[in-house]
Structure 1
Amino acid sequence: MIGIIGIITIFVMVFGGFLAAGGKMGIILKSLPYEMMIIGGAAVGAFLIGNDIAAVKHTIKDLGKVFKGPKWKHDDYRDLLCLLFELIRLAKQNPVAIEEHIEGPDASSIFGKYPKIQQDKEAVALIADTMRSASMNYDDPHQVEEVLDKRMEATMNHALHSSHALQTVADGLPALGIVAAVLGVIKTMGSIDQPPEVLGKLIGGALVGTFLGVFLAYGLVAPFAAKVKTVIEEDGHFYHLIREVLIANLHSHPPNICIEVGRQNTPAHCRPDFSDLEEALKEVKKDAA
Structure 2
Amino acid sequence: MIGIVGIVVIFVMVFGGYLAAGGKMGIIMKSLPFEFTMIGGAAVGAFLISNDMSSVKHTLKDVGKVFKGPRWKPGDYRDLLCLLSELIRLARQNPVALEEHTEDPENSAIFMRYPRILADGEAVGLICDTLRSASMNYDDPHQVEEVLEKRMEANLHHALHSSHALQTMADGLPALGIVAAVLGVIKTMASIDQPPEILGKLIGGALVGTFLGVFLAYGIVGPFAARVKMVTEEDSHFHQLIREVLVANLHNHAANICIEVGRQNTPGHIRPSFNELEEALKQAKTKEAA
Same fold (TM over 0.5): yes
Aligned to 2:288: 288
Deviations along 1:99-127, one digit per CA (max 9) or x if unpaired, are 00011000000000000001111110111
1:172-230 alpha-carbon deviations (Å, 9 max, x no partner): 00000000000000000101111111110000000000000000000000000000000
Deviation at 1:142, TM superposition (A): 1.1
In the other structure, the counterpart of 1:223 is 223
Match of 1:61?
61
Q: Give the CA deviation at 1:285.
A: 2.5
1:160 alignment partner in structure 2:
160
**Structure 2: distance between partners of 1:218 and 1:134:** 49
Residue of structure 2 equivalent to 1:269: 269
Give the Å deviation of 1:283. Answer: 2.1
Deviations 1:8-64 (A, max 9, x none): 110011001001100001110010010000000000000000000000000000010
Shift of 1:288: 3.2
Give 3-state SS (helix, strand or coil) of 1:138's partner: coil
User: What's the counterpart of residue 201 of structure 2?
Assistant: 201
Counterpart secondary structure, 2:95? coil
Whichever residue aligns with residue 190 of structure 1, its letter is A
For residues 209 and 260 of structure 1, what CA distance do their matches in structure 2 show? Answer: 56
SS in structure 2 of the partner of residue 98 of structure 1? helix
CA RMSD after TM alignment: 0.8
The C-alpha deviation readout for 1:229-287, integer Å capped at 9, x for no partner, is: 00001101111000100010111111101000000001111111111111111222233
The number of aligned residues is 289
CA distance in 1, matches of 2:283, 2:18: 60
Using structure 1 for the length normalisation, give the TM-score: 0.99
Cα distance between partner residues in 1 of 2:39 and 2:228: 23
Q: Secondary structure at the match of 1:219?
A: helix
- Counterpart of 1:160, as a letter, is L
Q: Once structures 1 and 2 are overlaid, which stretch shifts more, 108-117 or 128-137? A: 128-137
How far apart in 2 are the matches of 1:67 and 1:286? 37
2: distance between equivalents of 1:263 and 1:130?
19
Residue pair 2:174, 2:213 contacting (<8 A) in 1 also:
yes
Aligned-pair CA distance for 1:139 = 5.5
Match of 1:18 in 2: 18
Paired residue type of 2:85: F
What is aligned with 2:28?
28
CA distance in 1, matches of 2:140, 2:109: 31
Whether 2:114 is the aligned partner of 1:114: answer yes
State the match for 1:77 in structure 2.
77
Amino acid aligned to 1:3: G
Would you say 1:245 and 2:245 are equivalent positions? Answer: yes
Alignment of 1:88-167 (within 5 A): 88-138=88-138, 140-167=140-167
Are residue 178 (structure 1) and residue 178 (structure 2) matched?
Answer: yes
User: Is the 2:133–2:139 Cα contact (8 Å) retained in structure 1?
Assistant: no
Question: Which 5+ residue runs of structure 2 have no aligned equivalent?
Answer: none
For the residues of structure 2 that align with 1:178 and 1:78, how far apart are their CA atoms?
Answer: 51
What's the % identity of the aligned pairs? 78
Distance 1:101 1:94 in 2: 12
Aligned to 2:256: 256
